[in-house]
Amino acid sequence: MIDFTDPAFVEDPYQDLAELRKFGKPIWHEELQMFLAACHGDANDVFRNKSLGRIFKERTPEFEWETFNWLHSDSILDSEPPKHTRLRALVAKAFNRNKIEGMRPAIERITNQLLDSIDEKVQSGENFDLIADYAEPLPVKIIADLLGFPDSEEHLLRPWSQAIVKMYEVNPSQQYQLEAKKAAGEFAAYVRDLAVFRKTNPGSDLITDLAMVEENGEKLNSHELVATCVLLLNAGHEASVNAFGNGMVAALKRPDQRELLKQKPEEITATALEEFMRFDAPLHLFERTATVDTYVGGVKIEAGQKIAALIGAANRDENIFAQPNEMDLTRDPNPHIGFGAGIHFCLGAPLARLEMGVSLPALWKKYPTMELAGQPVRRPTFVLRGYESVAISV
């Protein structure tokens, strides 16, 4: 059975994931003590099945993990109805399509600033780093602006977030655990102080809006407020960085796809960014726990048992996608499940699409002759799949 921590698997998981799909139904993984749903239909069912919940299991000892635990159990992502319905409703308005479309000018402005900085490197004959110079700062700045996280402190976000999300990997190391506990404590305290400050010094941002809701009624308690902000700050950039990086590296390695981006970057963007999401998924595994006995793909999942949706495997299902192992930036329709499905469907999908929709053609218009300069460096993680750095020459 798959070893999710094997470096060779992490380097290229798709062959092993294809083997899993051959079973045609969810398969029990003894070491992880959960079923794995690798086929598209089964993974989709895992997200939609109302008898399967996102049940956060508190880490122990409780005194060490206290903040980390409530940052999760009180967040939108890790709660179920009716709490999930209440929390999601409080922030959903900020993420509706019209509100997000209104952010286009800000996204364009930041994109242009980043391109100007890159151009300084290019003009002096240097390569640039697709991740650190472009894919990462855009979503970080946008989600920080949306929440009202101060510009001067933005550099804190990525390290805190990175430390916390490493806990979502299979079997996180002792070192990852220590870092996650520390980051959770610091991040929560920072957001708590910011929310307190915003109550008396309101801004036009989401932390102010949520702080007022906490103040005025019983709709949001103090932990829920902080947990929701931390989730948005993390979820608001982690996957976006990797979706862009993974897609770009794959496209740059394929001359025909690179040519498409070079020749008609704007025309192709809408289908290209969906294919980026499908071809090399930025998020691979999401767990659910059965609240009562239920079935997925004909397999019985008993109450209390766990099952994971394997997004990257589902997105290469040969029964759904023609030539699934080929990147095709014109693929349409493209029913990938990169943003999940059901009640936890990604709240930020319109924002992620808009960010990529602006930044992808802008980069190709500016540098149509872009090429990989050397071997991109992968992060050694499977669940959050992405690159550490990607050197580009022009």
Residues near ligand HEM, by CB under 6 A? 47, 54, 76-77, 88, 143, 231-232, 235-236, 239-240, 243, 282-283, 286, 338-340, 344, 346-348, 351-352
CB of 206 to ligand HEM, least distance (A): 9
Supply φ then ψ for residue 289, to 5 degrees. -125, 135
Q: What is the DSSP-derived secondary structure letter of residue 384?
A: B
CB of 389 to ligand HEM, least distance (A): 19
Integer Cα distance of 206 and 94 in angstroms: 8
Give the amino acid at 24. Answer: G
> Which helix H or strand E contains 296, and what residues bound it?
strand 294-296
Rank residues 104 and 263 by Cβ distance to ligand HEM and give the closer one. 104
Rank residues 386 and 394 by Cβ distance to ligand HEM and give the closer one. 386
CB of 208 to ligand HEM, least distance (A): 17
Rank residues 77 and 272 by Cβ distance to ligand HEM and give the closer one. 77
CB 391, CB 374: distance < 8 Å: yes
Q: Please enumerate in sequence order all residues whose Cβ is within 8 A of that of 375, keeping only pairs 6 or more positions apart, or say none.
A: none
Rank residues 35 and 47 by Cβ distance to ligand HEM and give the closer one. 47
Rank residues 54 and 166 by Cβ distance to ligand HEM and give the closer one. 54
CB of 61 to ligand HEM, least distance (A): 26
Rank residues 234 and 257 by Cβ distance to ligand HEM and give the closer one. 234
> CB nearest ligand HEM: which residue?
348
CB of 374 to ligand HEM, least distance (A): 25
Integer Cα distance of 216 and 247 in angstroms: 44
CB of 378 to ligand HEM, least distance (A): 17
CB of 84 to ligand HEM, least distance (A): 6
Rank residues 310 and 394 by Cβ distance to ligand HEM and give the closer one. 310
Rank residues 229 and 252 by Cβ distance to ligand HEM and give the closer one. 229
CB of 117 to ligand HEM, least distance (A): 22
Task: Give the CA radius of gyration of the chain.
Answer: 21
Helix (H, G, I), strand (E, B) or coil at 23: coil
Q: Is 298 left (phi over 0), alpha (psi -120 to 50) or beta?
A: left
Kind of pairing, strands 306-310 and 299-301? Answer: unpaired
Integer Cα distance of 379 and 368 in angstroms: 27
> Which helix H or strand E contains 36, and what residues bound it?
strand 34-37
Rank residues 240 and 269 by Cβ distance to ligand HEM and give the closer one. 240
**Residue 85 token pair:** 């319905």
Integer Cα distance of 43 and 15 in angstroms: 18
CB of 46 to ligand HEM, least distance (A): 9
Kind of pairing, strands 34-37 and 306-310? Answer: parallel
Among all chains, which residue has been given the structure tokens 């100007």? Answer: 116
Tell the burial category of 5 from Cβ atoms under 10 Å away from its Cβ (0-12, 13-18, 19+): middle
**Residue 309 token pair:** 């949706």
